[in-house]
Structure formats: structure tokens, C-alpha cells
Amino acid sequence: MSNKASFYDRLFPWCPYPLVMAAGIGLHYLILHWGFELTTATYIPAIFGAGAITFLEIYYPQRKEWSANSNDVLNDSAYMVIVQIVLPRVLSFALAITLLSYLKTRNMTFDSWWPYDWPVFVQALLMILSADFLRYWLHRYSHEWPLLWRLHAVHHSPHKLYWVNVARFHPIEKALQYLFDALPFIVLGIAEEVLALYFVFYSINGFFQHCNIKLRLGVLNYIISGPELHRWHHSMVARESNQNYGNNLIVWDLLFGTWFLPRERQVNLLGLTNRNYPLPFISQLKTPFIKGIEQE
Ligand SMILES: [Zn+2]
């Protein structure tokens, strides 16, 4: 009996990522097949992923001390709603639609820049790969350029990792990310089905990347920017956190020499060296403008 239990114990960490991701993407296609609109088919799988990951964080945590308290969740929820849901919509209306109509009046099109006739799944893969290339360099320079680091320090401020703090980005940094991973693809006129599939993968992978679940990704650590790699990216030690910049994929880190996954030890403390860096949402709107507070 004990051998059987230990077999399942050993097997279990390998299951959550592929099973939840496959179920989320499967659910996306199933909802579309049932005739529901694209928005429903996009948000329901993301909510399903969030629910599954919340359940696993409660029953199978990587570190008990990383569990979020009600104050953490309150502040992260403000980030989730204001920065991750409302802000991109405002940017779409203010920026993408204006830019698209400007390009239309100038008769500018980019029809030869994207393989619109490829299958949706392959176009989504191409979008993940190209958006990640742009985000890799934005993220890397956010660690290397002091002014960008002031904004990005907000994301590195928590002393723990759990899925809801994936949302924690200063609104100005979120707007910069939008310029890199959303606007170019909207302007290219990529089909909404492709954007929706990208969003499902991006959401569930982002939740996993920051999750507090005891899991293993094995060979996927050479393809996906998952939790085992990303925990090092949140280390308090700068030479450990200036690695693994990938947003969805880790392939650009492998190519540019920033892939980092020590096998013999676990990450120690997370967050900034300034342990008094404010954590509330309202305070963090101001922290990028306070010189010197953003120490690594
Ligand atoms: Zn970072």
C-alpha cells in the first residue's frame, strides 16, 4: 500500500500542467463547437484554469509560507481587474482602433506579413513565438535599464509566489507590454480565433508560472516558461533573478543564454532586497516614481 502511495506521490507533480492546459484548450474548442461566442470560449477556460490551480494550491502547495492571505488577494484582485482586464480594453479602444482607422485612411495594409491562411492552431503558435520574442527583450531591458526596472520592480515586490500575483504589474508597464504583445498583432489584422487561442494559453500558462503548487515540468522546462524556472526569476538574489525572462516560452532564453535551472537546490527568499517596499495596490502606483526604493 505504501509503495502504491509513493508511486502516486511521485507521479502526481508531473500531471497538473499538461492536464489542466490540455483541458483548458479542449474546453475552448468544445465551447466553440457548441456554438457559443468567442468571448465565452476565451474566458470560461481561463476561469476553469484559475479554479483548478486554486484547488491545487490549497491541497498541494510547494511552500506553505507562500500561501496568500486575504490582504494579498485583495491587492492582487485590484491588479487583476484594473490592470489586466480594464486597462487592455481601454488601450484597445484608445490605441488599436485609432491606429487601425489611421492606417486604413492611408491605405496601409500588412497582408504579406502574416500567414492568414494557416490553421488557427499553427497561427497561434507563431503568435506565441513572435510575441514572446518581443516580450523577452522588453523584460530583459526591464531588468537592465534602471528606469524600466523601477516599473518592473512592482512585479518582483511580493515575497511569495501564488497564481493571483501574476496580475501584479504597474499600469504603465502593462501599457508597454500591450505595445509589444497585443498591438502589433491587432494591427496585422490577425483573426480573433487566433487571438482567443493565444489568450487561453497565455492565461493558463501565466497562472501556472506563478503558482504555489508542488509540480514538475520535466522536458517542458526546455520549451515552456513554467513555475520551476520562473521561481528563480523571482529570487531576491539578482544573479538568479536576471534569468528566465520568457513570458510563455523559454526558447528565447535558451537562445540568448539566460536559461537558468539549478538542479541541486531550491530558490530561497523571493522579492526585492528592500523588504520594506510597499505592497498595497495604491502605494505601488507611486513607487516607480520614488528614486532608490526599487532595489533588487
Ligand atoms: Zn522580471
Q: Which pLDDT tens digit goes with each residue over 12-46?
A: 889 999 999 999 999 999 999 999 999 999 999 99
How many domains does the chain divide into?
1
Which domain range does residue 166 map to? Answer: 2-289
Considering the domain boundaries, does residue 187 fall inside one?
Answer: yes
The DSSP output letter for 188 is T
Instruction: Output the CA 124–ligand 1 centroid distance in Å.
Output: 24
Considering the domain boundaries, does residue 294 fall inside one?
Answer: no
| H-state helical runs in the chain | 2-11, 16-33, 38-59, 70-78, 87-91, 97-105, 120-144, 146-156, 171-181, 183-187, 192-209, 227-233, 238-241, 251-256, 281-286
Least confident of 46-50, 105-109, 227-231: 105-109
Q: How many helices (H) and strands (E) does the chain have?
A: 15, 0
Considering the domain boundaries, does residue 295 fall inside one?
Answer: no
Instruction: Output the CA 32–ligand 1 centroid distance in Å.
Output: 35
Considering the domain boundaries, does residue 81 fall inside one?
Answer: yes
Q: Residue 2 pLDDT more than 70?
A: no
Under the banding of pLDDT at 50, 70 and 90, the label for residue 296 is low
Instruction: Output the CA 234–ligand 1 centroid distance in Å.
Output: 7
Q: Residue 295 pLDDT more than 90?
A: no
Q: Which pLDDT tens digit goes with each residue over 165-223?
A: 999 999 999 999 999 988 899 888 899 999 999 999 999 999 999 999 999 999 999 99
Instruction: Output the CA 233–ligand 1 centroid distance in Å.
Output: 6
DSSP lists the bridge partners of residue 151 as none
Q: Which pLDDT tens digit goes with each residue over 97-141?
A: 788 888 878 877 777 788 999 999 999 999 999 999 999 999 999
Mean pLDDT, the chain, whole residue set: 92
Q: Which pLDDT tens digit goes with each residue over 179-188?
A: 998 889 988 8
Instruction: Output the CA 179–ligand 1 centroid distance in Å.
Output: 17
How confident is the model at residue 1, as a pLDDT? Answer: 47
Instruction: Output the CA 4–ligand 1 centroid distance in Å.
Output: 40
Instruction: Output the CA 71–ligand 1 centroid distance in Å.
Output: 23
Q: Report pTM.
A: 0.91
Instruction: Output the CA 6–ligand 1 centroid distance in Å.
Output: 36
Measured distance CA(164)–CA(171) in Å, rounded: 16
